[in-house]
Chain A
Amino acid sequence: MSDDLRALTDLDRIIHEPARLLIATILSGVISADFLFIQRETGLTKGNLSAHLSKLEEAGYVKIEKTFKGKLPLTVCKLTAAGQKALAKYRQQLQDFMKKTS
């Protein structure tokens, strides 16, 4: 296997999954976003989104908090520093791969 292809096997599988990549990208540009917003932006079902968020939370990439904004109950998600780092590394790895293979 060439080094270029081997680099792909090093990709972070948690971030690499399309739905989780989308969630992480959405969260990377903001301090936090709530469950409803992420669900609308990703088009995922509640159960599916919940499962993906749990995976990201287990990996330490996303922090999930139940909170209130005024009287409004919210499930707020934040990309942690580890999540930001993992996403940046993933983007860099993909860019490097594209450069080498194009």
Chain B
Amino acid sequence: MDQNFREIQQRVRRYWFKDGIGEIVVGSLFLLLALYFAGHRWLPADSNAPMMLDGSLLLILILGIFTTRRLINIFKMHITYPRTGYVEYYPDKEGLLPTQIFIFFIAIGFIFLLVVFGKWVGSFIWLPGFIGALISIILIVIRTRAIDLNRFYYLAAASLFLGLASSFSGLPAHYSISLFYALFGIVLMIWGGATLAKYLHENPLADEGTDER
């Protein structure tokens, strides 16, 4: 009995992931990160450009932490809600502003630690594999919370594989990190795009709109 209640509530929670919009938006963010890391190799070291690029990492972080969910909601408002209905979820801890600010500083601290560790070891070749494994854990946690969406297992496997492959690619550190973000960003966008296409095919827009009562 209690299991039935939980299953219904999980099905409602799973609805948020049904359209693949999340993967598309996060994939675009990863492509921005790929450009950032590739940019470090392209730009002349003796100009101000690398410093400006460092500043843009902050911008990408802020964009990622503070606006991703809002961006996803804007797309959902135009694509998902008119087709299959609107749901307002309780904000999880990550959605609250104080938590977002906390995550922002944790992310900055984490990047700083990675840089210090990399300089201490004398190489950053391990970094794509490490990030790939980290993303893969996050995806498995999402899969556990949104039961029955096996695509997160496949994405977790892809993240781990691409991370390790980039680490062993033999490319310079900036390029291998860039390669990981670019490849995984593309995988996310393709997967999200395919999920969205399937969703749109299965749920054509109702003529009469959503206000049906």
Contact = CB atoms under 8 A, between A and B. Distances in A.
Contact of B84 (A26, A28, A30, A37): A37
Nearest to B13: A29
Interface of B: 1-2, 5, 8-9, 11-13, 15, 77-78, 81-82, 84-90, 206, 209-213
Interface of A: 22, 25-26, 28-41, 46, 50, 53, 64, 66, 69-70, 72-76, 91, 94-95, 98
A40 B209 CA distance: 14
B95 to A, nearest CB: 12
Q: Say what secondary structure dominates the interface of chain A.
A: helix
B213 A75 contact: yes
Given A30-B90, A32-B87, A69-B77, A74 B211 contact: yes
B213 A31 contact: no
Given A26-B12, A41-B11, A72-B81, A64 B88 contact: no
26 contacts: A22-B8, A26-B8, A26-B12, A30-B89, A31-B88, A33-B86, A34-B85, A34-B86, A34-B210, A35-B212, A36-B86, A36-B212, A37-B15, A38-B85, A39-B85, A39-B212, A41-B11, A41-B12, A50-B213, A53-B213, A69-B77, A74-B81, A75-B212, A76-B86, A91-B1, A95-B2
Nearest to B209: A73
Nearest to B78: A70
A36 B85 contact: yes
